[in-house]
């Protein structure tokens, strides 16, 4: 059924998953995190479980994974109907759009780690961009789990004063959008958005 998300009420016929109760709990925990973080698609979550846990016979467990992913996505979408006003993630989205408009490439959940992010962000920029800011996959996980988001930033000139200018502009924009920010002004320190209540709409 990969490629189409099952709907509540679909009949999925399969034998019981050949995994321990601990294994099934791990799968549910993994999917719950990906749903809450708000970036992975349904297919990415299903394939992510298979890859992450190196399941040898995915055809035996895939229907269970699909059912769990479907249920958790539906539950998330139902819960977000009760989120009133702007969430912190909404504010972050708006701040990143404004930074883009100001000439700073802003990417969310970008690459696997900070090193890859710094190396690859230039491919996202056009000639008008002078700086960048991003957070990577592991930062997303930390924000969802611990309520603290760390941002990396830089300038395409690689000059210290330009990097500092980008950092200051990022901090100012985040604060203008109502987000709590901590930064000591050093270009060697990442910008922290904390606490952040991670409610990402789907």
Radius of gyration of the chain (CA): 20
Write down the pLDDT at residue 174. Answer: 99
Cβ neighbours for 126, distance < 8 A, ≥ 6 positions apart: none
pLDDT digits (tens, 9 = 90+) for 14-49: 444 567 888 889 999 999 999 999 999 999 999 999
Write down the pLDDT at residue 53. Answer: 83
Mean of the pLDDT values across residues 62-76? 96
Q: What is the pTM of this model?
A: 0.88
Spatial distance between the Cα atoms of 84 and 100, rounded to a whole number of angstroms: 26
DSSP annotation of 81: T
Mean of the pLDDT values across residues 169-188? 99
Give the model's confidence band at 4: pLDDT under 50 very low, under 70 low, under 90 confident, else very high: low
Write down the pLDDT at residue 114. Answer: 98
State which of 3-17, 50-64, 83-97 shows the largest mean pLDDT.
83-97
Please report, rounded to a whole number, the percentage of residues in the chain having pLDDT higher than 90: 82
pLDDT digits (tens, 9 = 90+) for 111-149: 999 999 999 999 999 999 999 999 999 999 999 999 999
Give the model's confidence band at 58: pLDDT under 50 very low, under 70 low, under 90 confident, else very high: confident
Query: Residue ranges of the domains in the chain?
Result: 21-80, 88-193
Mean of the pLDDT values across residues 163-177? 99
Does position 1 have pLDDT exceeding 50, yes or no?
A: no
Count of beta carbons in the 10 Å neighbourhood of residue 80? 14
Helix (H, G, I), strand (E, B) or coil at 154: strand
């Amino acid at each position: 059924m990969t490629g189409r998300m099952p709907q509540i009420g679909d009949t999925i016929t399969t034998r019981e998953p050949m995994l321990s109760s601990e294994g099934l709990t791990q799968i549910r925990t993994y999917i719950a995190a990906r749903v809450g973080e708000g970036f992975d698609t349904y297919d990415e979550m299903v394939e992510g479980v298979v890859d992450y846990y190196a399941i040898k016979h995915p055809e035996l467990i895939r229907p269970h994974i699909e059912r769990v992913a479907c249920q958790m996505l539906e539950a998330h979408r139902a819960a977000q109907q009760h989120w009133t006003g702007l969430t912190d993630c909404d504010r972050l989205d708006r701040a990143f759009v404004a930074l883009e408009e100001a000439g700073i490439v802003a990417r969310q959940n970008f690459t696997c780690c900070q090193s890859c992010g710094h190396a690859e962000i230039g491919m996202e920029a056009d000639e008008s961009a002078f700086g960048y800011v991003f957070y990577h996959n592991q930062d997303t996980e930390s924000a969802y789990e611990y309520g603290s988001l760390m941002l990396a930033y830089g300038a395409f000139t690689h000059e210290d004063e330009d990097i500092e200018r980008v950092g200051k502009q990022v901090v100012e924009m985040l604060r203008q959008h109502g987000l709590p920010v901590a930064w000591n002004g050093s270009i060697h320190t990442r910008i922290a958005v904390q606490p952040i209540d991670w409610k990402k709409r789907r």
